[in-house]
Structure 1
Amino acid sequence: MTIEERLARLEAESEIRRLKARYLNACDAKQADTVRACFTLDAVIDFEGMGVFNVDQLVGIFTEIAVNSPISDSHHGHNAEIEILSADTAKAIWNLGFTTYDPRTGQFRALSMFYHDEYRRTEDGWRISKTRSLARSALEGTAIEGKLSANWLLPTA
């Protein structure tokens, strides 16, 4: 591999890392337009337990559940394994730590999951063209008046 090819791969990896960070931060900041801009127009989004969506459906659900509510979320992507497949395609596996809290009910959830992503370079830069999340574990509970009640849930498969 030439030095130019190696540099192009490193730049692509860096751009994909920034894209994923932008997506996760936009989710936490409740920025629906930024979430939308992280995907290709024909993207396939498969969230285990929720269903398979296109970008418009994802943004609609995101707006309903997150943007129009007082729920606060925190997404943390870790341990990216990015593989550049060609000058314009890539794939990656990310470990996601996710917490959400609803101050109206005191309910919280802490999830651990893997994202399996595919990426495509577009005129506007790298975008997510396919994503699939697979749950690893979940902790659900309530925190009311200083009392904590929680259940550790493990996936069945």
Structure 2
Amino acid sequence: MGPVRPNPSRPTASAASADVLEIHRLKFRYVRTLDSKLWEDFAETMIPEATATYSEYLQFESREAYLTFLRNTLGPHVITEHRCDHPEIDVDGDRATGIWYLSDTVLIPENNMLLRGAAFYTDEYVRCDDGRWRIAHTGYERTYEVVLSLSDLPSLRLTANRWGLTQHSDGIESVERDPRETVRRDETPEESIGGSDQEHPGSEHRAAG
């Protein structure tokens, strides 16, 4: 039996591994820029025609529509944490699919609310003309979601917040920062999360990202 000749139409194992690694980095950049609210960098992770689906009520037919929604609902008053792992990536030429396990936390002090949840992302990716992979579709299906009132956690204190209230020597004042800026040495982020009449936000704060 003669040697098996390589199929030129099939990517080599090393090329496929490189593509998978790039898609890993793409997803990690997606959640980093989402949680950091670096919206211009976040937009670069998706193609302009990208779609997103989180439920029958939350569907977006373009990157711009999705980005506008996130800017409006995940502003400086909302702290988010998205962690993705257990990737299952399949590459087919210049297209790929991915499944990721998501664990996320959403904290909204002014609404007296903490959300924890988990989900499975289902993504589609394309290799663009510049050789970079970008997201063509994203969305997830929840495995669970719980919402807590911060009134139930009286000892909880928010001791650091990149976008929110900052304690100064002369009291606490509201400071909106550019996330790229460095905190001054005389600023010590510390804020006690007090009660609020609004216990839980609407679903627009809780279902996408």
Distance in 2 between residues matched to 1:101 and 1:50, nearest whole Å? 22
For structure 1, the residue ranges without an aligned partner over 5 or more in a row are 150-157
Equivalents in 1 of 2:39, 2:58: separation in Å?
19
TM-score (norm 1): 0.86
Partner of 2:124: 118
**Aligned residue number for residue 57 of structure 1:** 65
Q: In terms of mean alpha carbon deviation, does 7-16 or 48-57 score higher?
A: 48-57
Q: Distance in 1 between matches of 2:58 and 2:108?
A: 22
* CA separation of 1:46 and 1:109: change in aligned 2, threshold 3 A: same
Summarize deviations over 1:84-130 as a string: whole Å, max 9, x none.
112x1110100100100011122011111111111000134000111
When structure 1 is superposed on structure 2, of 103-112 and 73-82 the one drifting more is 103-112
Pick which of 40-49 and 52-61 moved more: 40-49
C-alpha distance in structure 1 between counterparts of 2:57 and 2:38, whole Å = 20
Following the alignment from structure 2 to structure 1, what is the Cα–Cα distance between the partners of residues 23 and 47?
Answer: 13
Mapped to 2, the partners of 1:60 and 1:106 lie a distance apart of: 25
SS at match of 1:123: coil
Q: Which runs of 5+ in 2 are unaligned?
A: 1-5, 157-198, 200-209
Q: How does 1:1-150 map to 2 (within 5 A)?
A: 5-48=12-55, 50-53=57-60, 54-67=62-75, 69-86=76-93, 88-124=94-130, 125-144=132-151, 146=154
The one-character-per-residue Cα deviations of 1:49-87 (angstroms, maximum 9, x if unpaired) are: 6421121111101111113x321000000100001112x
- What is the number of residues matched between the two proteins? 146
| Paired amino acid for 2:22 | E
Give the ranges of 4+ consecutive aligned residues of structure 1 lying more than 6 Å apart after TM superposition: none
Alpha-carbon separation, structure 1, partners of 2:67 and 2:25: 20
- TM-score of the superposed pair, with normalisation by structure 2: 0.65
SS at match of 2:73: helix
Q: Which residue type is aligned with residue 45 of structure 2?
A: C
What SS is found at the alignment partner of 1:146? coil
Bigger mean CA deviation after superposition, 93-102 or 48-57: 48-57
- Cα distance in 1 for residues equivalent to 2:55 and 2:133: 24
SS at match of 2:77: coil
What secondary structure sits across from 1:100 in the alignment?
A: strand
Alpha-carbon distance between aligned partners in 2 of 1:115 and 1:50, rounded to the nearest angstrom: 17
Aligned CA distance change for structure 1 residues 98 and 52 (closer, same or farther; 3 Å): same
Looking at CA atoms only, which structure, 1 or 2, has the larger radius of gyration? 2
